[in-house]
């Protein structure tokens, strides 16, 4: 036929894992016969690129399990975490790229959909980590195992969802092998087409999708992932009809409720990594969280420091969920985010939101209770361009769906990464601003005066003024010998700092706390906020009661508000307004 050449015959023998080269319509294509180490890396990169392009559309499809408009964002962040781990692996590493990709995805998984994606990648790693070059039959078997493991990871699986689409893709891949179509290209095409057919059927399986006129967002994301695999193997992007558009909504996406208004609906999304936990403890944790809430997904992975689990659940009682995590092991990288209200968003032309960074579970819960998305930050996280904290702040800002966003860093060391994230959000068209808050009590003061009815610029000024007018202090324990403004300290000494500068040294947290309060209140004050850490933070039993009694006796006209700092908090944080 003029203008066309017959494809070259496939390769055989020792280089079977390499590409089959063919010329079709004048275009040179490389068709892989097996997935080797290099192909895994190319696929991971292709997945990130494809999800980046599809993110907003997937977010718009998101109506299940809650319509919070973040499925595409969560899938992308999870894929990016896996790809980052793969990029850092190093060519000399003997560890399978499948294992590294899965571990990075599990540890960086975001949201319900991200956790399921991570479990699917973990399932693929379980089946392919020991296979240097995976052919069609090996991939089909691994896809089947991955789908089964994903159903196991979800506490209450439903049909018409991400899980259904993943299983259908795996079944189609297996059917291709059973029918003798074992070439890798045939298997990946069958998986992608089977998943796409199942996706189109999801509205008939789940009423909420049918009522909204959309397909399942997580399942649509998995179709994007499989299409990226097809493109990696065949060198051609599959021709697909566009996905149905999401429901028409005012604004970009679901807007969070106004500041100070808790979200309507089932409560908050809680997610954390769990370390130092036995398998039995994880089973008990799953049972407890299943009692407390829904949308429970628990995904485990081996790390160089031992097994870790990514735990995701929707609950009304955030404190009870975190306590269950503490009982099971060591929860860290805790995220608490209010769920979207189960009602239409306000028809404002420009929605507004606040994002807060939090260094402890108790502080995170305080901001979440006010309807504020929270970015948890572990102590000592590096301040480097592109670091996880910067990525997390950017995701939180974009995830609000608001046109105008204020970010409260709540720590002097987090102002720079928050500012970089805000700069990137502006490139996405958001009017985002950092209000400098050097402590969580300054952030709470700023939040208290926020008024979405004001002009945005005026609101930012009012919040900044409230933060600056709040004096703050904290009681901490010295980690080693050092020279401070108050003299030389040794490990275990109690430090009392005011506005970031050490002004009191002592051996008794209660005495240091009293002196700090007297110093701060000597310049006047009407309201004192106390955030008391738990015993694990070095706070002695009764610290909050003792400083509260001192305030009642020595400063009886001052109003006192007290909160629990929870895991990760300093022994005592003080704010004076």
> Which H, E and C letters describe 355-383, residue by residue?
EEEECCHHHHHHHHCCCCCEEECCCCCCC
27 located within any domain: no
Confidence of residue 380 (pLDDT cuts 50, 70, 90): low
Helix (H, G, I), strand (E, B) or coil at 265: coil
Q: Residue 486 pLDDT more than 60?
A: yes
In DSSP terms, 268 is beta-bridged to: 315, 338
Lowest mean pLDDT among 255-264, 362-371, 518-527, 541-550: 255-264
Residue 442 has which token pair?
């300054």
Confidence of residue 252 (pLDDT cuts 50, 70, 90): very low
Distant-in-sequence, close-in-space partners of 6: CB < 8 Å, separation ≥ 6 = none
259 located within any domain: no
Q: According to the per-residue pLDDT averaged within each range, which of 75-79, 92-96, 255-259 is highest?
A: 75-79
Sign for the CA dihedral angle at 212, 213, 219, 223 comes to negative
| Residue 119, pLDDT score | 93
Which among 61, 142, 565, 133 has a CA at the least distance from the CA of 363?
A: 565
Q: Residue 240 pLDDT more than 80?
A: no
Share of the chain above pLDDT 90, in %: 27
- Give rounded-to-5 percent helix, strand, coil for the chain: 45, 20, 35
72 shares its domain with 162? yes
Q: Residue 3 pLDDT more than 50?
A: no
452 shares its domain with 484? no
Q: Residue 385 pLDDT more than 80?
A: no
A 10 A CB-CB count for 490 gives 10
Confidence of residue 384 (pLDDT cuts 50, 70, 90): low
206 shares its domain with 316? no
324 shares its domain with 440? yes
What number is the average pLDDT over the span 546-561?
Answer: 88
What number is the average pLDDT over the span 543-557?
Answer: 88
Lowest mean pLDDT among 57-61, 198-202, 312-316, 459-463: 57-61
Q: Which of 442, 468, 494 is at the close of a domain?
A: 468
* β pairing state of 431-434 and 404-408: parallel
Confidence of residue 95 (pLDDT cuts 50, 70, 90): confident
11 located within any domain: no
Buried b / exposed e over 48-65, threshold 16 CB at 10 Å, is bebbeebbbbbbbbbbbb
Lowest mean pLDDT among 249-263, 352-366, 440-454, 544-558: 249-263
Is the distance from CB of 512 to CB of 492 less than 8 angstroms? no
Confidence of residue 92 (pLDDT cuts 50, 70, 90): low
Share the mean pLDDT of the chain: 81
433 shares its domain with 495? no
513 shares its domain with 546? yes
Q: What CATH number did the domain enclosing 482 receive?
A: 3.30.1180
256 located within any domain: no
75 shares its domain with 101? yes
Let me know how long the chain is: 577
493 located within any domain: yes
What number is the average pLDDT over the span 550-563?
Answer: 88
C-alpha angle 504/509/510, rounded to 5°?
Answer: 105
182 shares its domain with 57? yes
Confidence of residue 250 (pLDDT cuts 50, 70, 90): very low
Which among 370, 366, 360, 428 has a CA at the least distance from the CA of 394?
A: 428
Residue 196 has which token pair?
């796409």
DSSP 255: P
User: Per-residue pLDDT tens for 66-78?
Assistant: 665 678 888 998 9
Q: Residue 29 pLDDT more than 90?
A: no
Which among 378, 278, 267, 272 has a CA at the least distance from the CA of 325?
A: 272
475 shares its domain with 460? no
Whether residue 424 is preceded by a cis peptide bond, meaning omega within 30 degrees of 0, is no
| Residue 225, pLDDT score | 94
Confidence of residue 347 (pLDDT cuts 50, 70, 90): very low
**525: alpha, beta or left? (left if phi > 0; alpha if psi -120 to 50):** left
What number is the average pLDDT over the span 19-40?
Answer: 66
Domain around 513? 471-576
Domains: count for the chain = 3
206 shares its domain with 354? no
Q: Which of 428, 452, 468 is at the close of a domain?
A: 468
254 located within any domain: no
Q: What CATH number did the domain enclosing 40 receive?
A: 1.25.40.340
Is the distance from CB of 310 to CB of 109 less than 8 angstroms? yes
328 shares its domain with 399? yes
25 located within any domain: no
Q: What CATH number did the domain enclosing 279 receive?
A: 3.40.50.510
Distant-in-sequence, close-in-space partners of 529: CB < 8 Å, separation ≥ 6 = 441, 444, 560, 561, 562, 563, 573, 574, 575, 576, 577
251 located within any domain: no
Higher-scoring residue by pLDDT: 88, 307: 307
Q: Residue 531 pLDDT more than 70?
A: yes
User: Per-residue pLDDT tens for 494-518?
Assistant: 888 888 888 889 888 899 989 998 9
| Residue 6, pLDDT score | 32
User: Per-residue pLDDT tens for 167-185?
Assistant: 999 999 999 999 999 999 9
DSSP 154: B
464 shares its domain with 391? yes
Q: Which of 182, 212, 234 is at the close of a domain?
A: 234
User: Per-residue pLDDT tens for 397-439?
Assistant: 888 888 899 999 998 888 888 889 898 888 878 889 999 999 9
| Residue 45, pLDDT score | 92
Share of the chain above pLDDT 70, in %: 84
| Residue 425, pLDDT score | 87
């Amino acid at each position: 036929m003029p203008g066309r050449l017959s494809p070259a015959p496939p390769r055989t023998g020792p280089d079977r894992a390499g590409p089959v080269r063919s010329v079709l319509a004048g275009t040179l294509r490389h068709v892989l016969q097996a997935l080797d180490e290099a192909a895994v890396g190319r696929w991971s990169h292709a997945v990130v690129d494809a999800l980046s392009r599809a993110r907003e559309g997937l977010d718009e499809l998101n109506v299940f399990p809650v319509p919070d408009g973040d499925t595409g964002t969560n899938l992308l962040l999870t894929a990016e975490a896996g790809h980052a781990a793969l990029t850092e692996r190093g060519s000399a590493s003997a560890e399978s790229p499948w294992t590294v990709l899965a571990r990075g995805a599990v540890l960086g998984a975001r949201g319900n959909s991200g956790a399921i994606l991570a479990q699917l990648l973990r399932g693929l790693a379980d089946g392919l980590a020991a296979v240097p070059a995976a052919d069609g039959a090996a991939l089909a078997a691994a896809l089947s195992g991955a789908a089964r493991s994903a159903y196991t990871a979800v506490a209450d699986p439903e049909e018409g969802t991400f899980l259904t689409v993943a299983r259908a893709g795996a079944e189609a891949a297996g059917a291709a092998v059973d029918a003798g179509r074992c070439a890798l290209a045939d298997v990946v095409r069958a998986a992608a087409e089977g998943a796409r057919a199942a996706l189109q059927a999801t509205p008939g399986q789940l009423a909420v999708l049918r009522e909204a006129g959309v397909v399942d967002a997580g399942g649509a994301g998995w179709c994007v992932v499989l299409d990226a695999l097809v493109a990696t193997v065949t060198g051609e992007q599959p021709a697909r009809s566009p996905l149905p558009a999401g429901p028409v909504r005012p604004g970009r996406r679901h807007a969070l409720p106004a500041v100070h208004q808790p979200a309507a609906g089932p409560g908050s999304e809680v997610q954390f990594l769990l370390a130092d936990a036995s398998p039995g403890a994880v089973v008990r944790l799953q049972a407890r969280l299943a009692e407390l809430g829904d949308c429970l997904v628990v995904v485990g992975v081996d790390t160089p420091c031992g097994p870790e689990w990514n735990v995701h659940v929707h609950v009304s009682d955030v404190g009870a969920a975190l306590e269950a995590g503490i009982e099971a092991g060591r929860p860290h990288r805790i995220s608490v985010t209010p769920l979207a209200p189960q009602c239409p968003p306000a028809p404002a032309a420009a929605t507004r939101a606040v994002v807060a960074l939090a260094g402890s579970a108790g502080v995170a819960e305080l901001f979440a209770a006010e309807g504020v998305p929270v970015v948890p930050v572990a102590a000592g996280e590096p301040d480097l361009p592109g670091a996880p904290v910067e990525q997390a702040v950017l995701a939180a800002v974009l995830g609000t769906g608001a046109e105008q966003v204020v970010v409260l860093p709540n720590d002097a060391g987090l102002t720079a990464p928050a500012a970089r994230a805000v700069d990137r959000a502006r490139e996405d068209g958001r009017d985002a601003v950092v209000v400098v808050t050097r402590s969580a009590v300054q952030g709470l003061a700023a939040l208290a005066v926020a008024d979405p009815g004001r002009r945005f610029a005026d609101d930012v000024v009012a919040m900044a003024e409230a933060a600056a007018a709040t004096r703050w202090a904290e009681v901490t324990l010295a980690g080693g010998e050092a020279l401070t403004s108050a003299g030389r300290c040794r490990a275990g000494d109690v430090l009392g700092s005011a506005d970031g500068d050490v002004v009191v040294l002592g051996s008794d947290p209660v005495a240091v706390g009293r002196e700090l309060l007297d110093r701060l209140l000597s310049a006047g004050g009407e309201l004192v906020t106390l955030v008391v850490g738990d015993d694990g933070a070095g706070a002695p039993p009764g610290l909050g009661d003792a400083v509260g009694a001192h305030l009642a006796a020595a400063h009886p006209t001052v109003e006192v508000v007290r909160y629990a700092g929870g895991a990760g908090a300093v022994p005592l944080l003080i704010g004076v307004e």
